[in-house]
């Protein structure tokens, strides 16, 4: 007890230091070793994890524990003098959880010999204090998935990236315990390939104090290391989209394999340079022309029709010069690489890792469908360097130092040369009529931004007694952001030539003006916020309960100044505050976390958890329009960021039950509630001159309540299955931070909601069914069925007697079926695995974008107000927008070879 008190005193002292989260990347094995005859504890019995330096000896009560084990599957060897050795295979270790292995050793006086048994993963996780899912590399191999986003969206409570009703961008992403969230938009920029993943933890409920800067969920990925022997794998596939819905998805009703193409490799093993130096490498190339094609009816230099007789608007001459070829409008290409070096000593482990990916894509623009060459290119490059030192002073204590440099770069344009002569006047080709494709022209804007995050982290965890495991950590983050957006301007606007035609001279506005937005204020045009935080956490494991209790401290500084008087952002000398600045106020908060599990038996447990979760809004909203460029008009057309935004806050409650109801079948029920405050919104301000502008503030709110019911049958008799049902109600005063801004742009302004309404992603009923069958040796198949009730939409007031009720309609429900089948052949001693992968097996036409007049895709009652079409397309052609529907059926065939 004295040791425990001293430890708490040390921890409280360390809390005075700025700290941040250290994500769990290891697990624990514990248990009791007894004599099979007398049932007495076996003091000093040895437990060794085969092929590692991990091990422990039983104490006076026969108890043992092994901490800080990387997640994976292991073999335990248990021995004691005078007893037969026991080998336990397939012991699974999971992130942040304890695997309990109790062993009975038989005296050598009984003629038995060595005992080999296989561990069976329990259906009930006794130390689970909130809802989370653990997905291993073996699980991913069986799933019809290609990236982690697909895996995440299969988890209960997750709907299209929204965790339990939260807004997008409320999730923290971590790789090997280090954040890889892009602070500019709070999204995941770097995507780890499936072949690099050792284990992935997806937390959709409450989460421990070690995790911060997230309100809705955590995605914690632990990657693979090299081993003592060489291993490798090469895989490839080809495929295409196959559909009969040619009125929506054109150029896909042919049988060929010219669609998605994928090649991957992985290689690992010893380096032979140093005896304990291992490596792991993986790479991927992926290319997909996409499922959305345009038709080159018009070239970019074409323009809208002309009227020979200005008095007769019914006769016009089209000026299209296109060749009517099909052009892909949502192609995507990706190249990626992950490398890791690991050097292990008795008490130290050093590792260096690098993650790199490079992508190119185009985003479908339905208005440009007949001028497809006019849409711009989007590029992204991510590079993450990580260096890590692990120190094991004893089997009870584990310390880590991590350093990381993360760089995320985005840029986009139609032509690389910003003065390319192929650029044309921005409004050229804009049609005269509605429901009409653009008749020439191009996207003229371009952007360039990057985020660099320097991260340093130290953490320590220690099993100070058999019941108490303390964790704390130290982290500092420094960010450097650059963001530029600009659009082509006609520098000779209003001038005409001798023939009466407008003169177009390509050019750009001066930096820091309306059509050339860039951070201003220093020589590099960058922003440099920084943050610190701290946590302390105790995991208390008793026979009757397991408790996770902790508290964290977060501090953030935007490190910038702003106008002292926001009513004079234009620095008018005739009003107060001209040319006066002040430093932005820093932000800090303290958030307690608590979770408890009550194991009722080996077949049942109840858990409850509660916590406060904070997250600074994305830096994009803190620093947007930091030059305070306000349109000097009486209309509302300008917005500015707010570097003094407070942290958004969610208070979460959860209670759940795990219960084995049949042999090999478990039931999991969770009920949750979230109260969300200080969400990002907007206020409308007016300058002294009378100009209006919007500014981000913490004003929106919401709440989420839900029920999750899961049934899982583990793999026995060639078959496993899991079904998750989620009932959820997500409501708030606004789904979009810009809602107040848009409402005030209307004439007259739309009244702000005074009560909560369904949020845009409020899917009341969600059902996921996954089934795996086969012998898992030479053949297997996996099937995933997903159902969702319709999301809300706002009905056009014309069809509600002129009354506007936000999100008062529901879109159609959705259904999707994916399939993956594998067959292994032995060829020249190699395992040659062939596979078939089918997305949207039944080619179901799910409607995601709908008309506000009908609630259906492709149907719009407002066409009766449209008037005649001045162009070649029909209204039906325009309404058939492939972006409103789910992707059509995609079939791929491939192979992989392991050695």
807: left (phi over 0), alpha (psi -120 to 50) or beta: left
- How far apart (Å, rounded) are the C-alpha atoms in residues 224 and 176? 9
Q: What is the pLDDT of residue 521?
A: 65
Q: How far apart are the first and last CA of the chain?
A: 53
Asked if residue 494 has pLDDT above 80, the reply is no
Asked if residue 355 has pLDDT above 70, the reply is yes
145-174 b/e (C-beta count within 10 Å ≥ 16 → b): bbebebbbbbbbbbbebbbbbbbebbbbbb
Asked if residue 294 has pLDDT above 90, the reply is yes
- How far apart (Å, rounded) are the C-alpha atoms in residues 128 and 225? 27
Q: What is the pLDDT of residue 277?
A: 95
Whole-prediction pTM? 0.91
Asked if residue 129 has pLDDT above 50, the reply is yes
Percentage of the residues of the chain whose pLDDT score is greater than 70 = 97
CB atoms inside a 10 Å sphere around CB 859: 13
Q: What is the pLDDT of residue 371?
A: 97
Average pLDDT, the chain: 91
Q: Which residues pair with 481 in a beta bridge?
A: 451, 527
CA angle 606/608/610 to nearest 5° reads 170
Residue that the structure tokens 């302390």 belong to: 536
Q: Which of 513, 626, 481 is nearest to 563 (CA)?
A: 626
CA quadruple 737, 743, 746, 750: dihedral, nearest 10: 170
Query: For 824-864, how does the pLDDT look when each residue is reduced to its tens digit (9 = 90+)?
Result: 988 887 889 999 999 999 999 999 999 999 999 999 999 99
Q: What is the pLDDT of residue 495?
A: 81
Q: What is the pLDDT of residue 523?
A: 67
- How far apart (Å, rounded) are the C-alpha atoms in residues 126 and 658? 9
**Span 864-873, average pLDDT:** 92
Residue that the structure tokens 């012991």 belong to: 91
Query: For 189-200, how does the pLDDT look when each residue is reduced to its tens digit (9 = 90+)?
Result: 888 999 999 999
Query: For 535-550, how does the pLDDT look when each residue is reduced to its tens digit (9 = 90+)?
Result: 999 999 998 999 999 9
Asked if residue 342 has pLDDT above 70, the reply is yes
Percentage of the residues of the chain whose pLDDT score is greater than 90 = 73
- Residue 801 pLDDT class (50, 70, 90 cuts): confident
Asked if residue 502 has pLDDT above 60, the reply is yes
Query: For 42-88, how does the pLDDT look when each residue is reduced to its tens digit (9 = 90+)?
Result: 999 999 999 888 899 999 999 999 998 999 999 999 999 999 999 99
* CA 163 to chain CA mean position, Å: 10
- How far apart (Å, rounded) are the C-alpha atoms in residues 792 and 800? 16
Q: What is the pLDDT of residue 23?
A: 61
Tokens of 868: 């005649």
Query: For 228-267, how does the pLDDT look when each residue is reduced to its tens digit (9 = 90+)?
Result: 899 999 999 999 999 989 999 999 977 778 889 999 999 9
Contact (Cβ atoms closer than 8 angstroms) between residue 87 and residue 52: no
- Residue 505 pLDDT class (50, 70, 90 cuts): confident
- In whole angstroms, how large is the CA radius of gyration of the chain? 30
Q: Which of 663, 644, 630 is nearest to 122 (CA)?
A: 663
Asked if residue 91 has pLDDT above 50, the reply is yes
Q: How many CA atoms lie within 13 A of 55 on its CB side?
A: 15
Asked if residue 20 has pLDDT above 80, the reply is no
401-430 b/e (C-beta count within 10 Å ≥ 16 → b): ebbbebbbbbbbbbeeeeeeeebbbbebbe
Asked if residue 207 has pLDDT above 60, the reply is yes
DSSP code of residue 50: T
Q: What is the pLDDT of residue 21?
A: 37
One-character DSSP codes across 262-331? EEEEEEEEE-SSSTTEEEEEEEEEEEE--S-EEE-SS-TT----B-SSTT-TT--B--------EEESS-
CA angle 388/392/396 to nearest 5° reads 130
Exposed, middle or buried by CB within 10 Å (0-12, 13-18, 19+), for 850? buried
């Amino acid at each position: 007890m004295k040791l425990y008190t001293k430890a708490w005193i040390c921890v409280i002292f360390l809390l005075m230091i700025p700290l941040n989260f250290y994500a769990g990347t290891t697990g624990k094995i514990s248990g009791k070793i007894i004599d099979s005859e007398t049932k007495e504890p076996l003091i000093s019995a040895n437990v060794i994890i085969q092929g590692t330096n991990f091990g422990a000896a039983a104490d006076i009560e026969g108890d043992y524990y092994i901490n800080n084990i990387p997640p994976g599957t292991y073999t335990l060897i248990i021995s004691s003098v005078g007893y037969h050795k026991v080998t336990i295979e397939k012991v699974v270790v999971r992130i942040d959880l304890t695997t309990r292995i109790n062993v009975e050793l038989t005296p050598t006086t009984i003629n038995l010999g060595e005992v080999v048994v296989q561990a069976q993963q329990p259906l009930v996780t006794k130390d689970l204090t909130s809802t989370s899912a653990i997905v291993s590399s073996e699980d991913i191999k069986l799933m019809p998935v290609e990236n982690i986003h697909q895996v995440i969206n299969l988890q209960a409570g997750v709907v299209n990236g929204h965790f339990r009703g939260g807004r997008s961008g409320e999730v923290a992403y971590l790789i090997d315990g280090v954040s890889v969230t892009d602070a500019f938009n709070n999204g995941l920029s770097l995507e780890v390939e499936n072949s690099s993943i050792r284990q992935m933890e997806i937390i959709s409920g409450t989460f421990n104090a070690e995790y911060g800067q997230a309100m809705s969920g955590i995605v914690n990925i632990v990657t693979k290391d090299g081993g003592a022997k060489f291993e490798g794998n090469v895989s490839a596939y080809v495929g295409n989209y196959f559909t009969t819905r040619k009125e929506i998805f054109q150029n896909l009703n042919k049988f060929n394999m010219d669609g998605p193409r994928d090649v991957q490799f992985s290689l690992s093993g010893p380096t032979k340079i140093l005896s304990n130096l291992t490596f792991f490498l993986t790479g991927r190339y992926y290319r997909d022309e996409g499922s959305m094609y345009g038709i080159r009816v018009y070239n970019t230099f074409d323009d809208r029709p002309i009227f020979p007789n200005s008095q007769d608007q019914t006769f016009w001459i089209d000026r299209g010069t296109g060749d009517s070829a099909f052009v892909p409008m949502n192609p995507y290409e990706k190249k990626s690489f992950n490398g890791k070096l690991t050097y292990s000593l008795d008490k130290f482990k050093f590792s260096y890792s690098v993650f790199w990916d490079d992508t190119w894509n185009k985003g479908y623009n339905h208005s440009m469908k007949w001028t497809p060459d006019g849409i711009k290119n989007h590029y992204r490059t991510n590079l993450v360097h990580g260096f890590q030192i692990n120190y094991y002073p004893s089997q009870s204590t584990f310390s880590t130092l991590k350093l990381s440099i993360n760089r995320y770069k985005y840029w986009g344009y139609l032509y690389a040369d910003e003065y390319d002569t192929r650029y044309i006047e921005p409004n050229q080709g804009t049609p005269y009529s509605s429901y009409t494709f653009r008749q020439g022209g191009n996207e003229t804007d371009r952007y360039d931004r990057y985020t660099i995050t320097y991260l340093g982290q130290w953490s320590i965890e220690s099993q100070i007694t058999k019941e108490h495991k303390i964790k704390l950590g130290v982290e500092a983050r420094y960010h450097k952001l650059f963001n530029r957006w600009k659009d082509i301007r006609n520098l000779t606007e209003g001038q005409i030539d001798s023939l009466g035609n407008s003169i177009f001279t390509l050019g750009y506005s001066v930096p820091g003006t309306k059509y050339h937005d860039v951070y201003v204020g220093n020589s590099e045009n960058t922003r440099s916020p920084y943050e610190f935080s701290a946590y302390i956490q105790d995991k208390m494991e008793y026979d009757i309960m397991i408790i996770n209790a902790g508290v964290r401290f977060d501090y953030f500084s935007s490190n910038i100044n702003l106008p002292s008087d926001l009513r004079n952002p234009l620095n008018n000398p005739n009003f107060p505050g001209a040319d006066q600045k002040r430093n932005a106020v820093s932000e800090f908060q303290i958030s307690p976390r608590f979770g408890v599990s009550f194991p009722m038996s080996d077949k049942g447990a109840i858990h409850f958890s509660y916590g406060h979760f904070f997250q600074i809004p994305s830096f994009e909203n803190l620093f947007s329009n930091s030059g305070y460029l306000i349109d000097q008009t009486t209309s509302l057309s300008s917005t500015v960021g707010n570097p003094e935004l407070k942290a958004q806050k969610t208070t979460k409650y959860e209670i759940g039950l795990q219960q084995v109801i049949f042999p090999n079948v478990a039931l999991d029920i969770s009920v949750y509630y979230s109260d969300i405050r200080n969400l990002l919104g907007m206020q409308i301000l007016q300058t002294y001159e009378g100009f209006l502008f919007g500014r981000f503030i913490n004003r929106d709110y919401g709440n989420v309540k839900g029920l999750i019911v899961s049934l899982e049958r583990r793999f026995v008799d060639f078959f496993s299955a899991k079904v998750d049902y989620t009932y959820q109600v997500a409501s708030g005063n606004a789904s979009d931070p810009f809602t107040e801004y848009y409402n005030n742009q209307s004439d007259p302004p739309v009244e702000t909601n005074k009560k909560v309404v369904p949020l845009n992603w409020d899917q009341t009923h969600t059902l996921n069914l996954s089934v795996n069958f086969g012998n898992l040796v030479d053949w297997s198949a996996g099937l995933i069925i997903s159902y969702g009730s319709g999301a809300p939409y706002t009905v056009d007031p014309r069809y509600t007697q002129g009354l506007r009720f936000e999100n008062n309609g529901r879109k159609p429900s959705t259904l999707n079926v994916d399939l993956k089948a594998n067959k292994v052949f032995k060829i020249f001693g190699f395992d040659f695995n062939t596979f078939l992968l089918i997305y949207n097996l039944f080619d179901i036409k799910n409607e995601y974008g709908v008309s506000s007049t009908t609630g259906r895709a492709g149907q719009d009652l407002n066409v009766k107000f449209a008037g005649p079409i001045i162009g070649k397309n029909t209204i039906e052609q325009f309404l058939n927008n492939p972006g409103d529907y789910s992707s059509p059926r995609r079939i791929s065939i491939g192979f992989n070879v392991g050695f």
